[in-house]
Amino acid sequence: MNTIRKENDNQKEVLLSVEHLRVNFKTDKAILNAVEDVSFKVYRGETLGIVGESGCGKSITCMSIMKLIQGNNVIYEDGKICFEDVNTLSLSDKALQEIRGKEIAYIFQEPMTALNPLYTIGNQMSEALRLHVKISKKEALKQCAHYLEKVKIPNPNEVLMRYPFSLSGGMRQRVMIAMALITNSKLIIADEPTTALDVTIQAQILDLMKELQGEFGCSYIFITHDLGVISEVSDRVAVMYGGRIVECADTDTMFEKAKHPYTIGLIASRPHGEMVEDRLPVIPGNVPSLNNKPQGCPFHPRCEAVMDQCRKSFPEAITYAPGHTVACWQYIKE
Ligand SMILES: Nc1ncnc2c1ncn2[C@@H]1O[C@H](COP(=O)(O)OP(=O)(O)OP(=O)(O)O)[C@@H](O)[C@H]1O
């Protein structure tokens, strides 16, 4: 049987390494496995896209990095999350507070999740900065205006005095990006940041994020269910299904040489420019719910290439080619 080869790091510097992460939720009736044995790396200055259908565990995986999951029914059963060699899962709340918003920032689909409607933008941005940097309020506001300019918000001094509800969705998302950059975050996790925006604003925000990455050298994890967005922004892509990463590769390889039947189906069902048929192919069936996950590979009930082994156990990921891993029994030779 193939053994797992170490991923080819190509001398790139690892910023974040998630190893064998398992996240469960305890309910009255059962323990639900939301994330199972997930491992991936994020290199300095790159964008990793995480893609998969709703409920596959993208957000829970990424929120675990900063232990952001609400509620006391969450169990980090196993795994390690090394951010610059610190295991964030083992940190106290106080130590995590130091990292949140400074080293690692999380941008949500709906910025109002993070912005307080009762305070002005200037108040919130400057206080977020002053949590991590010892400067006067006046100096902080000056820096805030500078960063609002960076995210191309016109009249930044006027915007600093406004309340979040008086800004458009696109403007609020720009404010969130400015807040992530002002503290010099090394890793920005963007969770469907453009899904709620219309297409032109979405394109502007994606372009802006790319431009700022060039200037600030930060890394992004970009969570989305939209393969079009992934192909635009990502250097590498991890595909999730049923709480697992089923395939990971650089973006070109993923779109041209995907190996996992789920990835192949996902790419085939994507609207594209040269469509000759009226209908897009769809992957039959639905994503399994957490309390009804099939044994073995969670994709097997929907998979056209299903084999006996797929119903019994989930395969270990193998390195199909340098930098390209896939977890599918088809590629494991006995
Ligand atoms: N607090 C919780 N208690 C129980 N189950 C939860 C809790 N939070 C999330 N889940 C479940 O964990 C699974 C993974 O959720 P997650 O939000 O990571 O999915 P996702 O891939 O990000 O989906 P979406 O694209 O819809 O946001 C889902 O089935 C979700 O219902």
State residue 249 phi and psi, 5-degree precision: -165, 170
Beta carbon of 34 within 6 Å of any ligand 1 atom: yes
Q: Are residues 197 and 167 in the same domain?
A: no
* In-domain check, residue 132: yes
- What is the domain count for the chain? 2
In tens, the pLDDT along 162-217 reads: 999 999 999 999 999 999 989 889 999 999 988 888 888 889 899 999 999 999 99
Q: For residue 159, which of 208, 117, 120 has the smallest C-alpha distance? A: 120
Confirm whether the ipTM is greater than 0.85: yes
Q: Best substitution site from 56, 64, 106, 224 to test ligand 1's pocket, by max atoms within 8 Å of Cβ?
A: 56
> Which of the four pLDDT bands, split at 50, 70 and 90, describes residue 273?
low
Q: What is the 3-state secondary structure (H, E, C) of 119-187?
A: CCHHHHHHHHHHHHCCCCHHHHHHHHHHHHHHCCCCCHHHHHCCCHHHCCHHHHHHHHHHHHHHCCCCE
CA 9 / ligand 1 centre spacing (Å): 30
Alpha carbon distance 97, 332 (integer Å): 43
Same-domain status, 129 and 198:
no
> Kindly report the CA angle at 216 between 14 and 119, in degrees rounded to 5?
110
The 3-state DSSP class for residue 110 equals coil
pLDDT of 39 above 90: yes
State which residues form the domain around 64.
Answer: 14-103+185-277
Mutate to test the pocket of ligand 1, among 33, 246, 290, 292 (most ligand atoms within 8 A of CB): 290
C-beta of 193 in contact with ligand 1 (< 6 A): no
Q: For residue 53, count other CB atoms closer than 10 A to its CB.
A: 15
Are 91 and 22 contained in the same domain? Answer: yes
Same domain, 99 and 189: yes
Q: How far is CA 160 from the centre of its chain?
A: 29
Residue 32 lies in a domain: yes
Q: How far is CA 3 from CA 36, 239, 305, 334, in A?
A: 20, 21, 22, 11
Instruction: Say what the pLDDT of residue 109 is.
Output: 86
pLDDT confidence of 235, banded at 50, 70, 90? very high
**pTM, to two decimals:** 0.91
**Residue 332 placed within a domain:** no
